[in-house]
Structure 1
Amino acid sequence: MLMNQILGVSPEPCKEELPRQLLQMSLPPKSTVFLRGNFMLLDQHVSRGTQSPMEESSYVDIAFGDDRKRFAGFHRFEIMREGKPESSSGATIWYSCIACNPSVDRYPFPGWTFTLHKFYAIHLFRDGIAEILKDEM
């Protein structure tokens, strides 16, 4: 991925993680790549609850694609807890995504593919949240 040079991510060789190698209670380091280099963890922040919930959230930024080809973009998964970290008062969860064709100024695929991708991503996200909630019950 050439994106690491543009975004200021370490140009050093990136560590590739397989899904079974990921830890359940911590995030991999920045510049970790997944799925044969098609995804890269660009940034992450885990709120430690030292500031008010309105001032700070936890997030993970993941890049995908290749800026030398026809398809690249970013996903952001973000969570903001409501109330104090030790309470179980709820949370707001966001999923954001942007995709483009970095080689020319046009969409990389027909419009229906973005609709399909959004549907697929939302359902994967929903399944992940359901698994988390199932473990906490």
Structure 2
Amino acid sequence: MDISSAAVRRPGDDITLLTYGGSLPKALSAADLLAAEDISAEVVDLRTLRPLDDSTVMTSVARTHHAVVVDEGWRTGSFAAEVSARITEQAFYELDAPVARVCSAEVPIPYARHMEEAALPQAEVIAAAAREAVGHRG
């Protein structure tokens, strides 16, 4: 598989977690948290953003019927918004719930590590968004 194709890093049936770069390990950790609650999360590593591998994204969403896009960018004007829009345009009737987005806090990224971690998406927040998307109270 060449770098221009997304890669399924963890297969799953209940929800698709879409991410790239530094958020990938956090999405995989979130999938572990969800697995402990019997929620099977597929983790898709987008790998490249342009071109975006719509085919892999839509195939996964069509199988799980739920999606959470994880992006270290701000929510406003984010790449997560673009991915969400594409899913809505191409796979709307496959969705059982709105596409969720987990993004960074809309603040300049702080230097102090504990503050940086508070501003960036973390596994627990990703897992909470996934639980809400599938209607699971965990």
Normalised by the length of structure 1, the TM-score is: 0.32
Whichever structure has more strand as a proportion of its residues is: 1
Structure with more relative contact order (C-alpha pairs < 8 Å, separation 6 or more):
2
Decide which structure has the larger Cα Rg and report it: 1
